Amino acid sequence: MIVQFEDVEKSFPLRDIGGPRQKVLRGLSFYIHEGEILGLVGLNGQGKSTTIKLMLGLIYPEKGTINIFGKEPGNTEIKKKISYLPENPHFFDTLNAIEFLHFVGTLRGLRGNDLRKKIKNMLNIVGLTGNEKKSIRKYSKGMVQRLGLAQAFLGRPEFVILDEPLSGLDPLGRKMAKELILNHKKNGGTVFFTSHILEDIEDMADRILIMNRGRIVKEVQKEELGGRSLESVFVEVIENDKNDSTYS
């Protein structure tokens, strides 16, 4: 098991300083197996990004435990095995794509010719060849997203975390991103991703977690869907959860 969340709770203050707090995660428990693609779906503001931030050690749980590769999140050795693509990424926009990927690659332990080859190959895969010397400041949203995918898969990290990976991409870009994710799994990697587009999750994920009001309300194996669309399952689960007053 790569990731384990057990009974995790997290709240944030409603105001900048002090005041009442709003519970975002309420006893969140789930796990991620090695070599799987796990999709996390949920309405806006239900704790998806908070879950990712906890996984990366950017914020800390108030209750419960989180284990990533058997250790606490935020550990530098563990971070060498992880890559992350944030939602609406903003990279160092005075640099160009090569300089940026070089920085990320060296942090992941890649060096010299091997790194240069991998950068060239990755830029080719994401379709940024020809634009690699342009400053990131001049990139369109879709190009930044492509660059974000390139850094996420550069050097084949064991565990890739993607927050809305297909956002801002054109149809060809979406196809490329899906192939990258599926190929990563083929090569033994693990992917955890969130998306608002349920069809994308259905296409790629082996297992899907439906999140509502700060906890997992349903876990769906891809095979369990049968002929049903994920959308119909999702709507049904969320509607049923609305009527459950336990967590309101």
Partner 1 sequence: MTRMILLTLKESVKERAFYGTLIVFLFSIGLYFIVNSFTMFEPERVMLIYSLSTVEIISLLLVFFLVFTFLNEDLSKKSLEYLLSLPIKRWEYVAGRFLGISLSGFVVLFVTTVVFFLMHYIVFGVFYFKMFLHIPLIFVMSMMIISFAFLLINASKRPVLIAFLVLFIYAIGINLDDAVQFLGTKKAASIPYFSKLLVKIAYYVFPNLSFFDMKIPISYGIGINPEHYVLVLIYGLIYTGFIMLFAVILFNRKEIK
Calculate ∠ Cα 239-240-242, nearest 5°. 65
For partner 1, the closer of residues 42 and 57 by Cβ is 57
For partner 1, the closer of residues 128 and 144 by Cβ is 144
For partner 1, the closer of residues 106 and 187 by Cβ is 106
Beta-strand pair 37-42/190-194: parallel
Helix, strand, coil % over all residues of the chain, rounded to 5: 40, 25, 35
Query: Least distance (Å) from partner 1 to the CB of residue 22?
Result: 12
Helix (H) or strand (E) holding 202: helix 198-204
Query: Least distance (Å) from partner 1 to the CB of residue 73?
Result: 10
Helical spans, DSSP H, in 71-140 = 76-79, 97-107, 112-125
Q: Interface residues with partner 1 (CB under 8 A)?
A: 12, 53, 56-60, 76-77, 79-80, 82-84, 86, 88-95, 99, 103-104, 106-108, 135, 161
For partner 1, the closer of residues 163 and 202 by Cβ is 163
Q: How far apart are CA 46 and CA 214, in angstroms?
A: 5
Query: Least distance (Å) from partner 1 to the CB of residue 94?
Result: 4
For partner 1, the closer of residues 80 and 185 by Cβ is 80
Query: Least distance (Å) from partner 1 to the CB of residue 204?
Result: 21
Q: How far apart are CA 111 and CA 138, in angstroms?
A: 27
Query: Least distance (Å) from partner 1 to the CB of residue 156?
Result: 15
Single out the residue of 185, 131, 191 nearest to residue 165, CA to CA: 191
